[in-house]
A and B are shown apart, each in its own frame.
Chain A
Amino acid sequence: MNIMVGGGKIGREIARRSSESVIIEIDSAKAKELEGEGLRVINGDARNREILLKAGVNNARVILVTDSDDVNLEVAELAKRLGSKEIVSRIVDPSRAHHYRKAGIIGLVCDESNAANLLTIVANARRKYFEMKVSEDSGLAGKELHEVSLEEDCAVISIFRKGMLFRPIPGIMLQPGDVIGAVCGKEVQQMHNPFDRILVIFRYPEFRDIVVEEASKLASQVGAEVFGISKEKENGLSVCSLEDQLPSLDGVGESEIVELLKHVRGKFDLIVTDAPRRKIFSLWTKDFTWYLNPPFLIAKRGRRYSKILVVVNTSDPSELFAHLKALSHPTVGFKVLILDEELLPYQNQLVEVSNVDIELVKGNPIIEVVKEVKRDYDLVMFSLKNDLGNIDQPLLWKIVEKTPSSVLVVE
């Protein structure tokens, strides 16, 4: 069952194409007009609980196509409380997309004709794959692909043109008749933005500003929330939002932090911490970095990244590339160092990222990686799996310990 909120052009179009649907329209004259067209209509304000219940909101898909973001968001919240199974909305003002994301709504930004197309498919299909046709009069024709804004949990995977399949390169110019294929879903969102909740842990007070600054910059770039650990007299260590207070860890031993990490495992998408002072892998005791589960970031710069080195040292670099994409920005330049010829096909995953310089290592992998990490990058990324076999773990830890760059270690 689909409930359309708003009986305008888009709502009407979707209701016509979808067999099981009801429109909630606030304007009584318009409601009558729609009824006259043979559509099922409830006249009333969807912000009213009774109206939504009457439309059968429980377990239904709610499609919001009003011309106000405020109304859409308000109805969405109520519908969610009343048990709707999915909420899809057209975003009126693209700058408010993050409000939709925070509310857990699938939001779509596109012009009216395409919105109708896209939302119809959403309404009818249970799949996560959608297609959108670029029509003559749509605002999409003549635009480059990167100018088309899709929601965070959607990614364009193909463009069909005159029977041919094109790769979704950011610079491709859309033409009338093109069919854009996109996938949406949680997994895609994770690919786009692997971090929602970031935990900051610092051991040395002098590094506090750097770590907090770098974590906050990263969080603002990827839209994540930052948390910290602080010591309370009675309850021991606890996790708090960094917005509330700047935590202090004076007098907290590393073993206590390691213990706490066991409790919060899986609750954070990224741990940001300071650079180790002693050898991570010493003969007597291991540094606490050793106990961290990836992904974790060793923050040393305390600023936004402009040069990032990605060392592709795993046979499946998808995770590494997902993090790369999450950090991609027009002002960020990436160097991707591929350590094995067999991994070259994976570079296709990076077609949509601009400013990427991909290089296959020709000489000795260890030496080439060392040469590259010494070239003053803001951030070095690698995988902890390290299953290619041509780089050893001690070298990776040395990069963590010795380089002036921040280091992001992923699974």
Chain B
Amino acid sequence: MKGVYTLVTIALLAFATPLFADRLRVPAVVLEVFAGMILGAYGLGIIESSEWLEFLSTFGLIFLMFLSGLDLDINIIRKKKKFAYLGLLFLALSMSFSYLLTLAFGLDLLYAILLTNVSVGIVVPTIREMGIVKSNLGQQILVAAFITDFVTMFALTIYAVSVRTGKTGYELLLVFGIFLVFLLSYYIGRLAIWHFPEFMSRWFTEDPMELGVRGSMAIMVSFVGLSYLLGVEAILGAFLAGALLSIIFRGGERLEEKLYGIGYGFLIPIFFISVGASMDPLKILSSNFDLLVILVFMAFAVKIVPSLIFVPTFGLVNSLRIGIIQTSKLSLTIAGVSIGENLGVLSYDEASTVIFFTILTCLISPTIFRALYGGKSE
């Protein structure tokens, strides 16, 4: 019976949070996590853990990663080669710097991956809101974010597999197995478009059977299933399934809107609320405050220092803007925390602190980015 209350509460929260988020001008996910904290086990105790919640929350995370993959825009990277090279260099410097800092502070390698990561889901709406998506600066920010997102996703998977399996080469090869399936699926997809365009067209037009949604879900679940079989993280499978759709079809807003509707309209809020519900905010602030401060410092350091490579192209202020917006984190970082916790690399307290830190970057980075613009767009 209690499980029913939990689900009803979460469903109502998922509906209400965007309304307040709009008024407070913060991302809805921040409110979702905070609402989870207040109503969760360490707050009012209304949201209780259950199998249902666990399942929906996991499915929400998988869907979140699937939509992250779908957000990837390979065309921008192909069109803006110079920006892609700069983005790669930025990523390499940022990753190396993160690694050195985690060594210096005695933290696990996982932190280096999480600190390097960026949330495309925060970056895109922020620069869209500023009206700079099509400017060179906007394109550079996007290209760097896409590359970083993809590489850190891959790095996280390799890390997880190597920790779980004791760093043997054989299991690592399985990670590449999923990439082979990805390539094969790409060619099959393109052949299907060429030979059965009328059928494929139904994926993107008004179809009462919602063929596009069914097909996308089938691809996503198949890749997640394949990940389990190959012993790879499920989120990589989901992410690759999203990226696969993005690369095969290169656009087709109607299908994307429907998938966003299912994800952000229901499953993903459940994931964020349940993440919040499992956190103990008082403990984070009392016992892990030092770690929180260190993480915030490192997060900005590992992005702002490498962002100086953009100075010759974009000037100092714009380079700082690029660095600051790249510190925003969300889905992959939170997914990384769950993985770290499952692997036993992160303690419960550490995990909570990193999630709290993630939420902070979601709030701070876009705010500073906007402030550097002084409210003006290019």
Contacts and interface: CB of A to CB of B under 8 A. Distances in A.
B251 A370 contact: no
- Is chain B's interface secondary structure helix, strand, loop, or mixed overall? helix
B250 interface: yes
B75 A390 contact: yes
B201 A398 contact: no
B247 to A, nearest CB: 9
Interface in A351-385: 362-368, 370-371, 374
A368 B251 contact: no
B56 to A, nearest CB: 30
B76 interface: yes
B203 interface: yes
B2 interface: no
B201 A389 contact: no
Nearest to B204: A363
A364 B251 contact: yes
B193 interface: yes
B204 A364 contact: yes
Contacts of B79: 387, 389
Interface residues of A, number: 19
Interface in B301-341: none
Interface string A374-411: 10000000000001011110110010001000000000
A257 to B, nearest CB: 29
Contacts of B194: 370, 398, 402
B250 A363 contact: no
A294 B301 CA distance: 49
B205 A389 contact: no
Given A389-B250, A390-B250, A398-B194, A363 B76 contact: no
Contacts of A363: 201, 204-205, 252, 254
Nearest to B192: A367
Contact of A364 (B73, B190, B252): B252
B251 A367 contact: no
A309 B164 CA distance: 56
A281 to B, nearest CB: 14
B179 interface: no
Contacts of B73: 389
A389 B197 contact: no
A99 to B, nearest CB: 48
Contacts of B201: 363-364, 367-368, 371
B200 interface: yes
B249 interface: yes
Contacts of A370: 193-194, 197
B51 interface: no
A236 to B, nearest CB: 38
B250 A371 contact: no
Interface string B196-208: 0110110111000
Contacts of A394: 190
A367 B204 contact: yes
Nearest to B249: A364
Contacts of B252: 363-365, 367
A324 B75 CA distance: 28
A376 to B, nearest CB: 14
A366 B252 CA distance: 9
Contacts of A389: 73, 75-76, 79, 250-251
Contact of A365 (B76, B251, B254): B251
A365 B250 contact: yes
B75 A371 contact: no
Contacts of B190: 394-395
B59 to A, nearest CB: 26
Nearest to B79: A389
A362 B193 contact: no
Contacts of A368: 197, 201
A78 B203 CA distance: 68
A158 B190 CA distance: 46
Contact of B197 (A371, A387, A398): A371
Nearest to B202: A363
Contacts of B203: 364, 367
Contact of B250 (A362, A387, A391, A398): A391
A215 B289 CA distance: 77
A362 B252 CA distance: 8
Interface centre among B197, B200, B201 (most CB of A within 10 A): B197
Interface string B248-269: 0111101100000000000000
Contacts of B204: 363-364, 367
Contacts of A365: 250-252
Contact of B251 (A390, A395, A398, A402): A390
Contacts of B251: 364-366, 389-390
B188 to A, nearest CB: 15
A392 B186 CA distance: 13
A374 B194 CA distance: 9
Nearest to B195: A370
A367 B200 CA distance: 7
Nearest to B250: A390
A371 B200 CA distance: 10
A367 B252 CA distance: 10
A194 B74 CA distance: 35
Nearest to B73: A389
Contact of A371 (B198, B249, B255): B198
A402 B195 CA distance: 11
28 contacts: A363-B205, A363-B254, A364-B200, A364-B201, A364-B203, A364-B204, A364-B249, A365-B250, A365-B251, A365-B252, A366-B251, A367-B193, A367-B200, A367-B201, A367-B203, A367-B249, A367-B252, A368-B197, A368-B201, A370-B194, A371-B197, A389-B73, A389-B75, A389-B250, A389-B251, A390-B250, A392-B250, A402-B194
Interface of B: 73, 75-76, 79, 190, 193-194, 197-198, 200-201, 203-205, 249-252, 254-255
Given A367-B203, A390-B75, 5 more contacts: A363-B201, A365-B251, A368-B201, A370-B194, A392-B250
Q: Which 8 A-B pairs have the closest CB atoms?
A: A364-B252, A389-B75, A363-B204, A371-B197, A364-B204, A370-B197, A390-B251, A363-B205
